[in-house]
């Protein structure tokens, strides 16, 4: 008996502390501050567990098919990667029903909690770029370039909020959006993922998206983290091709490329993804100056920094800055990377282990990254509630959410030209609909929809309308004819309008690289042939970038820049054609006139204009102006008059503010929305100043004859200062002009004596 008691006592010394640790470990106490919980957990982790937290693998490594599609967990593969290699994050997938995602994520998260020694949950990342685009039945918003065209930040907020509401509950709690790169190079194949070419527009829209996505849990979903990408300079490669080198002066980086990311950081964004390319000869993934110096120390970002797809390996076989994968890993981690989207192998884990064993990487450096990763997981509530839920699936694709997407699509449509007021077409007898996008669903949404390069046509929802479907619904009493190719003369002469739906098929990243921005020749040929007839032509451009149409633009009575308006986009286009919706979108980019001659609006010549004599329908082709249609251009079916622009003072000091006011009146005969854009020009600066810069915007809705008085408060530091090459703000006394509509006012800034 004594021997039995001795054995029991000995076992109790071993078992009871373990039980107590399991039940009362500080990191498991939700009442403690996050930093205390993180420090406690970090102190319990082995080095291999820490390295695993810094690793993100693709779904193909744990999916039964070995591919993105048909999401079905292979528990054996997942158990090995989590239990033996301590992997802390997975990503990716394709659009499958919510129930299927729930089963996958539920099994994966339960396995992770049970198989990790300390019960550390995984965090799952996904590219829900414009709505939960990898979730069957989800609400799909217009792409970001369209949201920029609305000049209405509520639509960007809604896009973020609805994405989280529909997908976070399923375990998709880390979203790789928004893209905060500037759309300054129209050839670049990801320009449609940006909010446009202006840093203030991108800052406002990006901040609103972050606020919507990261606060949606307050409306009844799990928390979701946003990702600002791709820091920094990714969108302005010299060649225009994806991931090719960019040469950007430091002053330009600070003044134009940095502000959208800083706005997102100030909004509390939790993660940042790095630029896959190189800036000024240095890959960003290996740049301590940009990643730690600029992003961390100067801009104050304290969240998780993530690589893009296999970008550590690209330091070896693409940028050639590292001899082997181990050296590349050292470069990236010492630059400031926290997590490697490896994403298909365990190379990163092996390299990290060797670097620690050989003394190249300290555990202190690893702890810094793991601390940020664990903090993210704690802040998202993953330790208290790691498992997905399927009791709120009725939110997905709800009528309310789809209405928000439709509203955004309607406001994003830009009417570029409307000669002879051919639109709206209120009661036609016959419309001919032709062009490659006339009866296509996939073209309306672009890449990152259902699949990386856009799903196949049959994968899109049955109830999603094409432009042809939408026009038939919009004009139930009209004859809507679908023509392939070029309609015959008899058919053309018998119609009230020809709608040519042209543009592009889906693409993203390097798959979308092109050498010629011109609209495909077959489309130009068809447009020119149709235009030779007497029937009015409405050219609808469904495209991710401004394909050149200069040779045919004058031949089309109406031109609509539809962009990539998403699942509700066809209805929005039909609404604009019929006049059910008065168009209010404005270009968030400059629409080039010629190949090889395009620059953003804020750098173009100040004395060359698109308009001649105020007629927006007469296109003037000149050698000096690179824009066929300028930034901010967009027509309406009503007219707006800007009057009585006033400033509170014609002279202020650097410590004072200035109030500008203007009256906008709807002088037409129908309700309309107007995006009011305020620009400021700094006439003299030590560094050459932009011709004009957008500094404020707001959208107003006015009934016929209604007026509104708008105000813009100008703060010298926020609106008149600019950075030098080191990022230090210059606030120089001098002459400034404020502009809204066709009105301007000058004022002076004086130094404080």
Radius of gyration of the chain (CA): 28
Question: How far apart, in whole angstroms, are the C-alpha atoms of residue 114 and residue 447?
Answer: 37
For residue 677, which of 586, 740, 611 has the smallest C-alpha distance? 740
CB atoms within 10 A of CB 722: 18
Nearest to 175 by CA among 134, 119, 236: 134
d(CA 291, CA 576): 45
H/E stretch holding 701: strand 693-702
Closest of 458, 554, 544, 542 to residue 500, by C-alpha: 542
Structure tokens given for 636: 């309406």
Q: Is the peptide bond before 522 cis (omega within 30 degrees of 0)?
A: no
Query: Which listed residue (106, 198, 308, 367) is catalytic?
Result: 308
Picking from 335, 325, 263, the residue whose alpha carbon sits closest to that of residue 297 is 335
DSSP string covering 34-69: HHHHHHHHHHH--HHHHHHHTEEEEGGGTBTTSSSS
**HEC assignment per residue over 118-147:** CCCCCEEEECCECECCCECCCCECCCHHHH
What tokens does 96 get? 């499958």
308 noted as active-site residue:
yes
Query: How buried is residue 396: exposed, middle or buried, by Cβ count under 10 Å (0-12/13-18/19+)?
Result: buried
Strand pairing of 89-91 and 414-418?
unpaired
From residue 460, alpha-carbon distances to 129, 449, 463 in Å are 16, 9, 9
Residue 237's SS3 state is coil
Residue 5, number of CB atoms within 10 A of its CB: 9
Which residues are known to be catalytic?
Answer: 308
């Amino acid at each position: 008996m004594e021997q039995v008691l001795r054995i029991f006592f000995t076992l109790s010394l071993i078992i009871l502390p373990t039980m107590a640790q399991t039940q009362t470990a500080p990191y498991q106490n939700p009442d403690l501050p996050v930093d205390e919980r993180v420090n406690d957990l970090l102190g319990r982790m082995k080095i291999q567990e820490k390295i695993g937290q810094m690793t993100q693998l693709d779904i193909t490594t744990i999916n039964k098919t070995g591919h993105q599609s048909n999401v079905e967990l292979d528990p054996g593969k997942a158990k090995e990667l989590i239990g033996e290699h301590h992997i802390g994050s997975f990503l990716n997938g394709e659009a499958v029903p919510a129930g299927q995602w729930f089963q996958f994520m539920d099994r994966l998260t339960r396995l992770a909690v049970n198989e990790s020694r300390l019960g550390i949950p995984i965090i799952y990342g996904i590219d829900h770029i414009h709505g939960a685009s990898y979730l069957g039945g989800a609400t799909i918003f217009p792409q970001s370039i369209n949201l920029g065209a609305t000049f209405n930040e509520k639509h960007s907020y809604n896009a973020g909020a609805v994405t989280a509401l529909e997908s976070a509950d399923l375990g998709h709690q880390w979203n790789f959006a928004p893209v905060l790169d500037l759309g300054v190079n129209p050839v670049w194949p990801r320009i449609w993922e940006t909010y446009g070419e202006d840093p203030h527009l991108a800052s406002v829209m990006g901040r609103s998206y972050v606020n919507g996505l990261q606060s949606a849990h307050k409306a009844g979903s799990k928390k979701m983290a946003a990702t600002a990408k791709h820091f920094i300079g990714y969108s302005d490669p010299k060649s225009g091709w994806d991931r090719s080198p960019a040469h950007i002066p430091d002053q330009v980086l600070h003044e134009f490329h940095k502000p959208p990311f800083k706005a997102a950081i100030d909004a509390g964004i939790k993660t940042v993804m790095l630029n896959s390319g190189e800036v000024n000869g240095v890959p960003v993934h290996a740049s301590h100056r940009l990643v730690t110096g600029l992003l961390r120390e100067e801009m104050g970002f304290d969240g998780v920094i993530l690589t893009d797809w296999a970008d550590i390996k690209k330091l070896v076989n693409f940028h050639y800055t590292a001899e082997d994968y181990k050296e590349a890993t050292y470069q990236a981690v010492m630059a400031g990377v926290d997590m490697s989207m490896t994403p298909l192998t365990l190379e990163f884990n092996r390299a990290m282990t060797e670097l620690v064993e050989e003394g190249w990487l300290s555990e202190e450096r690893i702890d810094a990254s793991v601390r940020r990763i664990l903090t993210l997981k704690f802040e998202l509530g993953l330790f208290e509630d790691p498992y997905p839920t399927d009791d709120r699936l009725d939110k997905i694709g709800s009528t309310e959410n789809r209405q928000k997407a439709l509203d955004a699509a309607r406001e994003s449509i830009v009417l570029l030209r409307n000669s002879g007021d051919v639109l709206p077409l209120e009661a036609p007898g016959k419309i001919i609909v032709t062009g490659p996008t006339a009866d296509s669903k996939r073209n309306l949404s672009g890449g990152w929809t259902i699949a990386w390069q856009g799903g196949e046509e049959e994968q899109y929802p049955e109830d999603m309308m094409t432009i042809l479907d939408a026009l038939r619904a919009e004009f139930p009493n009209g004859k809507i004819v679908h023509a392939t190719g070029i309609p015959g003369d008899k058919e053309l002469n018998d119609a009230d309008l020809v709608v040519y739906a042209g543009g592009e098929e889906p693409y993203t990243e390097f798959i979308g690289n092109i050498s010629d921005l011109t609209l495909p020749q077959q489309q130009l040929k068809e447009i020119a042939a149709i235009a030779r007839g007497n029937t009015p032509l409405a050219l609808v451009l469904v495209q991710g970038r401004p394909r050149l149409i200069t040779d045919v633009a004058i031949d089309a009575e109406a031109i609509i820049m539809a962009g990539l308006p998403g699942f509700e986009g066809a209805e929005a286009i039909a609404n604009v054609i019929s006049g059910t919706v008065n168009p209010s979108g404005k270009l968030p980019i400059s629409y080039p006139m010629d190949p090889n001659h395009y620059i953003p609006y804020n750098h173009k010549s100040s004395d060359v204009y698109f308009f001649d004599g105020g007629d927006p329908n007469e296109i003037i082709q000149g050698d000096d102006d690179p824009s066929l249609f300028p930034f901010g251009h967009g027509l309406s079916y009503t007219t707006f008059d800007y009057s009585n622009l006033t400033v509170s003072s014609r002279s202020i000091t650097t410590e004072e503010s200035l109030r500008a006011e203007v009256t906008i009146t709807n002088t037409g005969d129908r309700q309309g929305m107007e995006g009011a854009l305020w620009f400021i020009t700094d006439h003299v600066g030590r560094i050459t100043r932009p011709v004009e810069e957008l500094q404020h915007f707001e959208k107003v809705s006015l009934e016929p004859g209604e007026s509104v008085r708008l105000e813009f408060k100008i703060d010298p530091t926020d609106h008149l200062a600019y950075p030098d090459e080191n990022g230090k703000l210059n606030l120089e006394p001098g002459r400034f002009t404020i502009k809204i509509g066709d009105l301007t006012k000058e004022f002076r800034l004086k130094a404080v004596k």
